[in-house]
Amino acid sequence: GAVVSQHPSWVICKSGTSVKIECRSLDFQATTMFWYRQFPKQSLMLMATSNEGSKATYEQGVEKDKFLINHASLTLSTLTVTSAHPEDSSFYICSAKKGATDTQYFGPGTRLTVL
């Protein structure tokens, strides 16, 4: 199998606070994980690529100081949204690559609402 989990599945926070989202590969090791965000009725937008033990690579237009990514082990990557604002409200989804193929397996997503 190739199961990816995310925690929490939803979170509500106040403007100005930070929120951490965890992404775990449960039955395989993932040297590379990805973070996406998705707005209603739109496709996935890649935010960053996370490689175990090294700094994440951010897509153009994504603030690396606002969206902190840590990939400290082969089964865990975290995304921290710092000083969250209402415009950061979105559906955040992680994925992980298994083995040498480019196939990505996705987590169930985290719904973030910033009040």
Residues interacting with another protein, by CB under 8 A?
A: 2, 4, 6, 32, 34, 42-44, 46, 49, 91, 93, 95, 101-109, 111
The identity of residue 113, as a single letter, is: T
Residue 86: phi, psi to the nearest 5? -50, -35
Residue 87: phi, psi to the nearest 5? -70, -10
Beta carbon nearer to another protein, 14 or 61: 61
Beta carbon nearer to another protein, 3 or 72: 3
Judge contact between 75 and 60, C-beta under 8 A. Answer: no
Beta carbon nearer to another protein, 82 or 104: 104
Residue 108 Cβ vs another protein, minimum distance, rounded to whole Å? 5
Please tell me whether residue 85 adopts helix, strand or coil conformation.
Answer: coil
